[in-house]
Amino acid sequence: MTGTPVQLELPVSGPFSLRASTRFLEGFAPAGTHAAGAHDGLALAFPVEGEGEWRTAGAVVRQSSDSVTATVYGDAEPQALRTQLVRLLSLDVDGRAFPSLGQRDSVVGELQRRYPGLRPVGFWSPYEAAAWAILSHRVRITQAARVKQQLAEQHGVTVELEGQQLCAFPAPQVLRELRRLDGVAERKLPWLRAVAEAALEGQLDGARLRSLEPDEALAELQNLPGIGPFGAELILIRGATDPDLFPTQERRLHEEVARAYGLHNPSLAALLKVAERWRPYRSWVGLLFRTRREEETSEIASGRRLRR
């Protein structure tokens, strides 16, 4: 990659563990070849949001006792890259009040103790989350992850970071031009191109989506072809990393919440009432539940269950 490496300091407020985030990504199938442990840090490669042509960049993030820093590579605009890094690591949220939530709710407190410092780690952008929502529609997650990795290897930029080679997901201007993709159903190709076009036009900008009321953002996202309620929530929570949204479409999460709170076949309204006590970190708590479930069942990693 071109350009001289630039050192950026990333803000942290409240508990945060980069090591926990790295472990999460290493077990997260959609991350594919875009992230890896890097000695004492986390190496990432991804297209950086921008107007018109997106540029691919790489970063190695490290945490010391009092700071989180990123060494970034490539010719993407540093401030745009920093903004995206901070958002995807959920460092743009003040987490100082998160521990007190666990003190008020013993279920949440147990999860916080089990996974100290774990915050949601998002897709590198809402654009990539939207592409994943389409690729994983009605196929096993492991199969979709393989296709996503092939896309990165065949059409993305390969970034070398401290001796590691990472293949970034194709930038939207590249995906927009593709007319055939191995392993992707033909009907999904126009959906993927529409997502790429929306990204280039700024409709999937992370800051923009976070600035909208959640219902407005979700409705807008569902106007994209191939994106339904499940995909829209995934894009907003995992792509734009909205910190305070309880997913209404995630059956696995609902089962875990019901089990933890002793609820028998609860309605969605009952689950939403439980989640109200987690404000303003509903997405964060949801991650803790999903992490425990995957640790105990490995159902996503093994591909045993179909994504709804």
Kindly tell me if the per-residue pLDDT of 33 is higher than 60: no
pTM for this model (two decimals): 0.92
Pair of tokens at residue 300: 């996503």
H-assigned helices in 70-171: 78-88, 98-104, 106-114, 126-135, 141-155
Tens digits of residue pLDDT in 84-110: 999 999 999 999 999 999 999 999 999
Structural domains of the chain, ranges and CATH numbers in brackets: 6-115+124-239 (1.10.340.30)
CA dihedral of residues 97, 286, 279, 70 (deg, nearest 10): 40
Tens digits of residue pLDDT in 51-73: 778 999 999 999 998 799 999 99
Position with higher pLDDT, 219 vs 80: 219
Confidence of residue 297 (pLDDT cuts 50, 70, 90): confident
Kindly tell me if the per-residue pLDDT of 306 is higher than 50: no
Element (H, E) at 213: none
Q: Which residues pair with 38 in a beta bridge?
A: 41
Tens digits of residue pLDDT in 166-181: 999 999 999 999 988 8
Tens digits of residue pLDDT in 212-246: 999 999 999 999 999 999 999 999 999 999 999 99
Confidence of residue 38 (pLDDT cuts 50, 70, 90): low
Kindly tell me if the per-residue pLDDT of 32 is higher than 60: no
Tens digits of residue pLDDT in 183-206: 899 999 999 999 999 999 999 999
Alpha-carbon distance of 61 to 68, in angstroms, equals 7
Asked whether the beta carbons of 22 and 118 are under 8 A apart, the reply is no
Position with higher pLDDT, 171 vs 35: 171
For helices 106-114 and 282-297, give the axis angle rounded to 10 degrees: 60
Tally Cβ neighbours within 10 Å of residue 7: 9
Query: For position 88, what pLDDT does the model report?
Result: 93
Kindly tell me if the per-residue pLDDT of 308 is higher than 50: no
- In a 13 Å sphere around the CA of 158, the CA atoms on its Cβ side amount to 6
Query: For position 183, what pLDDT does the model report?
Result: 86
Tens digits of residue pLDDT in 239-280: 999 999 999 999 999 999 999 999 999 999 999 999 999 999
Query: What does the pLDDT average to over 14-36?
Result: 74
286: CB partners within 8 A, 6+ apart: 237, 246, 247, 250, 253, 275
